[in-house]
Amino acid sequence: MPSAPLDSAPLDSVPLASVLFVCVHNAGRSQMAAGFLQHLAGDRVEVRSAGSIPGDRVNPAAVEAMREAGIDISAARPKVLTPEAVQASDYVITMGCGDACPVFPGKTYLDWALDDPAGQGVEAVRPIRDEIGVRVAALIAEITEITEIAEITDTDAAPRA
């Protein structure tokens, strides 16, 4: 029995989309969003996060708030935003970096206006965490719906026997 080619992975193992979350320091909002998306979508979505001026470490209050939600982001490290990361992503979601994000055609850009948790305690970070969780769940629904529509369209466009 011949083996399948390496590039013919099952559809359920291929990510539906790639998402890049961007905030200035990549230490709070974008890390929480990446944590939620990874937790909720698993391997169905490729998750990245970056910052225009990355901090030295992830905000401890963000780590604690996410731990309370059952998500561990303690191993995450701030990363610098690069044009390559933007270009490799289907969705680019900014959270306060403004014009620092490069723009490429064919990407979906969203701006989530969220308070910056920098310098705040866990009590102030919880509502920010909760808002991010709601937005990430809506994003997953959008990605899933768009993928289902594309699959239906592709099936309808296929030649009939």
Supply the CATH number for residue 29's domain. 3.40.50.2300
Whether 37 is covered by a domain: the verdict is yes
- When the pLDDT of each residue in the chain is averaged and rounded to a whole number, the result is 86
- Return d(Cα 61, Cα 40) in angstroms, integer: 21
Give the pLDDT band (50/70/90) at residue 3.
Answer: very low
Strand partners, 111: 94
| Total-model pTM | 0.82
Choice among 45, 97, 114, 139 that is catalytic: 97
Closest by Cα among 127, 116, 141, 119 to 30: 116
Looking at residue 147, what is its pLDDT? 62
| Domain assignment of residue 5, yes or no | no
Q: What percent of the chain has pLDDT over 70?
A: 80
Question: What percentage of the chain has pLDDT greater than the value 90?
Answer: 71
99 assigned to some structural domain = yes
Closest CA relative to residue 48, chosen from 10, 9, 117, 94: 94
Does the pLDDT of residue 158 top 70, yes or no? Answer: no
Whether 62 sits among the annotated catalytic residues: the reply is no
Domain count, the chain: 1
- Which residue among 16, 20, 23, 63 is the active-site one? 23
Answer whether 21's CB lies under 8 Å from 33's CB.
yes
Has residue 7 been placed in a domain? Answer: no
Strand partners, 109: 92
Residue of 27, 58, 81, 101 marked catalytic: 101
The answer to whether residue 98 is domain-embedded is yes
81 CB contacts (<8 Å, ≥6 apart)? 22, 26, 50, 51, 52, 54, 97, 100, 101
Whether 23 is catalytic: yes
**Within a domain: residue 100?**
yes
Enter the DSSP assignment of 3.
Answer: P
Residue 78 in any domain: the answer is yes
Calculate mean pLDDT across residues 56-64: 97
Measure the CA angle with vertex 135, ends 109 and 21; round to 5°. 45
Degrees, nearest 5: CA angle 78-84-86? 75
pLDDT digits (tens, 9 = 90+) for 83-130: 999 999 999 999 976 656 778 889 999 999 999 999 999 999 999 999
Domain that holds residue 113: 20-144
Q: Is residue 139 part of a domain?
A: yes
- 101 among known catalytic residues: yes
